[in-house]
Amino acid sequence: MKTTAIALALLAAAAAPLAFGTWQMAPNAQAWTALTAEHRARIVVKLDSSKNRRYFETQVEARDALGITAEPADIQDAILCHREQDALRDGGEVQAIFSLPRYLAINGGIALAGALAVFGLALTASSRVAARARTPGRIRRD
């Protein structure tokens, strides 16, 4: 019975990251990155060439006022403009990065939790089956 519970626990440990979707290697942390002089210059040129990118916002606002659905490209341009203005003002930006230690810790924790949960359920189920088999008045078929 215990070997079956251990086998089920190992299967659950392997399947838990798949079930929760944490097995994918995606950005899972953030890091502050200061703007380089070159990047700062590119942002300034972009902002100067589009009158601080107010054009994109007016396009979205005009379409909203007319009841026309704004173009997704215009909305994306307005968002990008604000992000670049914030980066210029703050001197840098927060970027999403991949952290291997965090990835391993999250997946290890989920695998351990899944294994312990299934192991506990398997032991509980097997002890109940064994207790029911020992109940007086029942016919044992071994």
pLDDT tens, residue order, the chain (142 aa): 688 888 999 999 999 999 998 889 899 899 999 999 998 998 888 877 765 555 556 666 676 677 777 667 767 877 888 888 888 889 999 999 999 999 999 999 999 999 999 999 999 988 888 777 776 665 656 5
CB contact set of 20 (below 8 Å; sequence gap of 6+)? 110
pTM: predicted TM-score of the whole model, two decimal places = 0.60
State which H helix or E strand residue 26 sits in: none
Amino acid residing at 24: Q
Q: Are 13 and 115 in contact (CB under 8 A)?
A: yes
